[in-house]
Structure formats: structure tokens, C-alpha cells
Amino acid sequence: MNGAVIENGDRRSRLSIVTPDANILRLRDAIHPEEANTPVRRVCYAAQLILSGDADPEEERLPMLRRIEELSQVFTDPDSRASLAEATDALIGNNHYRCLKALRTLLAREDRLFAVRPS
């Protein structure tokens, strides 16, 4: 949360965040650096670094917009296009959590594409 790692203990509990615009990334949703090995995973990882405070949003905006544009050349179906448009709008609006959330919807599609590629 805002750069700090929070993990549940033995018993789950409810946590209320009252700070507006707090950046939250659950550990179970995090992409580890060695897992950022595909185009979608790399752009998700970049968004995640912004959320965790490990990357500057201003410096990452243009490279991420370029990566999202590159993804739009591959993901041409209406659902994927909608996710990419949402990610772009969120990134431009500095809503990095929403950007990451929209991009993560493409992970399963990307996995399927890599599963059927010719060897």
C-alpha cells in the first residue's frame, strides 16, 4: 500500500482504507520481475512499479502508452480493444490501479495466444 507490503496473517481480517487515492497492490496479484516475460506481463509490471512507488509515473507514461499501442496491433477483438482503451484512459488520467486492472484482463488471452503459436 503506497509502497509498503501488507500480507494477511493466519486469520484474514477486514481493512478499511480511508485515504483517498491510496495505491494498493495485493501480494497475490503482483507480477514478479522474472514473470514479466511477455508483452502484456511487461506492461502490467510497469504499471505495478508505478503503483508500488518504484517508478515515476511521468517517466513511465509515454513508454507505457507505446506498449499499449503495440498491444492494440495484436489484440484486435472488441473486448480487448475496450480493455486497452480503458487502460489508456486510466494511464492518461493518472489512475494507475485502473490501468493495471484493465491490462490484467488481457493476460488470459495472451496465454491462449502463446499456447497455440506454431513451434
Model pTM?
Answer: 0.82
> How many domains does the chain fold into?
1
For residue 14, the model assigns a pLDDT of: 73
pLDDT score for 16: 73
Does some domain include residue 92?
yes
The reply to whether 11 falls in a domain is no
Q: Which domain holds residue 41?
A: 33-116
17/38 Cα distance (integer angstroms): 33
Does 12 map to a domain? Answer: no
**CA angle in degrees (0–180, nearest 5) for 91-19-60:** 25
Residue 6, in any domain of the structure: no
Tens-digit pLDDT string for the chain (119 aa) = 555 556 666 777 777 777 776 767 777 778 999 999 999 999 999 999 998 889 999 999 999 999 999 999 999 999 999 999 999 999 999 999 999 999 999 999 999 988 886 76
Within a domain: 7: no
Task: Note the helical H segments in the chain.
Answer: 39-52, 57-72, 78-92, 96-104, 107-116
